[in-house]
Amino acid sequence: MLPLLATKYAIKYENEKKTCDGRYTIGRAWRFGSMGKDQGTSKCRGKCDENTECKFFYYNDGKWCALYRSCDQSRSPGFKGTTYEKQTEGIALCF
């Protein structure tokens, strides 16, 4: 049985018109139009969890989700949102 590392996220920018620069975007953005804020944030987080390149994710008031490999530079998106930074914990979970 292989241990899995627990993943936590810290807030980098909260409820701001600021997120990671577009040059760091991984793939395309997703829109979770029919979901509430908590559901959309959770789904966006799941997309980041599944992608080994993902170090940051952004979910905004327009219900858009974007994944980023870095956040060395920022940009001003059209909607306020929150950018989260992935932090892998040293706690092993065995299943």
Q: What is the pLDDT of residues 37-50, one digit of tens each?
A: 788 999 999 999 99
pLDDT greater than 70 at residue 94: no
Strand partners, 20: 74
pLDDT, the chain, mean: 88
Write out the H or E segment, with its range, that includes residue 45: helix 37-50
- What's the distance, CA 73 to chain centroid? 16
Q: How far is CA 61 from CA 26, 55, 69, 77, 82, in A?
A: 20, 21, 22, 11, 9
Longest dimension (CA), the chain: 45
Question: What token pair was written down for 66?
Answer: 């974007």
> What's the pLDDT at 44?
95
- Tens-place pLDDT, residues 41-79: 999 999 999 999 999 999 998 899 999 999 999 999 999
**Amino acid 32: pLDDT:** 82
